[in-house]
Structure 1
Amino acid sequence: MSSVSKRFSLSKVLSSTNVFSPIKGINALLFTIAIISLIVADSALADEERAFPVDDFHSLSVAKDVSVSVICGSAPMVIAKGHKDVLDDLDIDQSNGTLSISNDGEDPGIFSSKHLDISVITNKPIDDIQAIMGSQLQAHPCAISDKNLHVVASMGADVKIEGKVQYLNAEFSMGANFNEKESDLQIERANVDAAMGVNAFLCGAKYVSGEQAAGTLLNIGQDTQQNISTAMGAAVSKSGCS
């Protein structure tokens, strides 16, 4: 083979191999840099935090992909953290002592999340809580009423409450979760109605009544007295709290 033919063959091999193609390598590098720049820029936007002063309230309702921590303070306030575009559409409303928070923003894109982290500060105990549509809520002991507490959780909501309550009236449905085995919620009496895939822990309850249906699991303590009716695959368990 002539030297001309050898040079031609080598050039053909190099041009058809990604490893030896400088143009393709540069393009890949530029693409990677562009992706990293987008991620960094979008992450910076996601760190925005806003504070919303609110009036006194005794009832709280949260909805749509929010993680809410209810804490105590001298003045009621909502502090939300997330993507700017999502914060722009955060709906905060008050009526008749109820504070309603709904994440109405659209998904900002593949590098960000619609999810918002929210701190709710209350200056008085809350006696009514509602969490729906994938929301997560955790209430500190000082933030809830130690007398009567009404809790509604539905549509994939996850609620965790600790403290002491004389009477709990709860309604759980559609894949909601309430508390965990380790949750320290002491209850004198509770009435719990649950349906459709609910998983709830009332390990610290002295007495529980109510109705369970459609695949729910209610976990109660070894010493808990109960008058609970079950139907359609629902169950009451004491082993889940041990």
Structure 2
Amino acid sequence: MAHSTATLRLAVGDLRIVHPVTVPSGPVEAADIVPALQGLVNAVVAAAEAGRTVSCRKGCGACCRQLVPVSPSEGERLLCVVAALPRERREALQARFAAAETAIEGAGLDQRQGRSDRDLSVAYFALRLPCPFLEDESCSIHQERPLICREYLVSSPPQLCAGPTQEGVTPLPVPKVSLAARGLQDEADDWFPLALLMAWRRTRPRRTTRRTGPEWMQRFLRQLGRK
């Protein structure tokens, strides 16, 4: 399939971003432009990180026990990533997802009604539930990790991240570009916890909407302008 490349010039918070984006030229599903969104988020994070000290390191997996909200478009992309894994690894991963789903449902955290996102996040973190993609305290899909994971970096001592309320943790001021992905397919789209990816797969609406890559990117940029 042919691809189109354009250079985006964006003002994101106090940052000025100039970044080339390449997307399929023809009609595709929203999940097919997620790699372009990953590159854009990486560029924003790099600009925000410039001149600052980041304490996050491979093997420090405390943040991988937080609630990770992902958009439906990212969910579709992650399902493709899982499906492409060797069978043995895929089966082990699916078992971890099943265990996470049981723990989340047992704690009543599979329902968001009446809870603020903050309260939900604190209760979720109290479970100390590792992300199913976490292996040896490192992300096993680092290149494909969710957009919001890319935006979470801290400058405070890593050991503070494991505290029950994360008191003293100092995140870098990274603009949350990832929020614009939540309404990409439909303005009613929201998010679901990454650990419930397989549960979401069973109940998700089966969309067939296809747009050109540039059209999807324009929708994303409009969403970004509303955030």
Q: For this structure pair, what is the TM-score category when the shorter chain's length is used for normalisation?
A: under 0.3
TM-score between both structures, scaled by the size of structure 2: 0.20
TM-score between both structures, scaled by the size of structure 1: 0.19
Q: Hey, which of these two has a bigger chunk of helix by percent?
A: 2
Q: Which has the higher contact order (CA 8 A, sep 6+)?
A: 2
